[in-house]
Amino acid sequence: MLTIGKLGQAAGVKVPTIRYYEQIGLLPEAERSAGNQRLYSRKALDRLTFVRHARELGFTLDAIRDLLSLSDHPDQPCAAADAIAKAQLAEIEKRLARLASLKVELKRMVAQCAGGSIADCRVIEVLGNHSLCAAEHGPRESEGDS
């Protein structure tokens, strides 16, 4: 049995984050020691590692909740898990495309800065005048990265 700190270290997740996951029902309530401290089994570590890894891959907590409940029923077909992963892949590809076009535009902007005064600064100018953009950004979607 691990205390929350050891668990966090082992899984690479911060302690408050573990408590947060429990609070929102992503992890089951932990057993408690005589002194009311959380105790975790090896299985709990696996589960948390799964969560961390999925988070690293950009899955939302909701998607992870679904994946966890799927992995709790290993006899069912894996089409649902596959679908979640595919949706995630599509999301990431969308973001990649968007970031790539932002990068092009930013590069252009930065490259054109001749080091003069603000009045002649392309950075400021391009930001103020959309018609100077290279790329079309397409419709708005969520786009608030990070």
Partner DNA sequence: CTAATGTCTATAGCCACTGTAGCTTCAAGA
Partner DNA sequence: TCTTGAAGCTACAGTGGCTATAGACATTAG
Residues lying near its own copies in the complex (CB under 8 A): 12, 46, 49-50, 53-54, 56-58, 67, 70-71, 73-79, 81-82, 84-86, 88-89, 91-93, 95-96, 99-100, 102-103, 105-107, 109-110, 113, 115-121, 123-124, 126-128, 130, 133, 137, 140, 142-146
Stretch that binds DNA, among 57-65, 78-86, 103-111, 123-131 (CB under 7 A): 57-65
DSSP-derived secondary structure letter, 29: P
Burial of residue 25, with CB atoms counted within 10 A of its CB: 0-12 exposed, 13-18 middle, 19 or more buried: exposed
Cα–Cα distance between 122 and 125 in angstroms, integer? Answer: 5
By CB under 7 A, tell whether 141 contacts DNA.
no
Residues 6+ away with beta carbon under 8 Å from 51: 13, 21, 26, 27, 64, 68
Applying CB under 7 A, does 60 fall inside the site for DNA?
yes
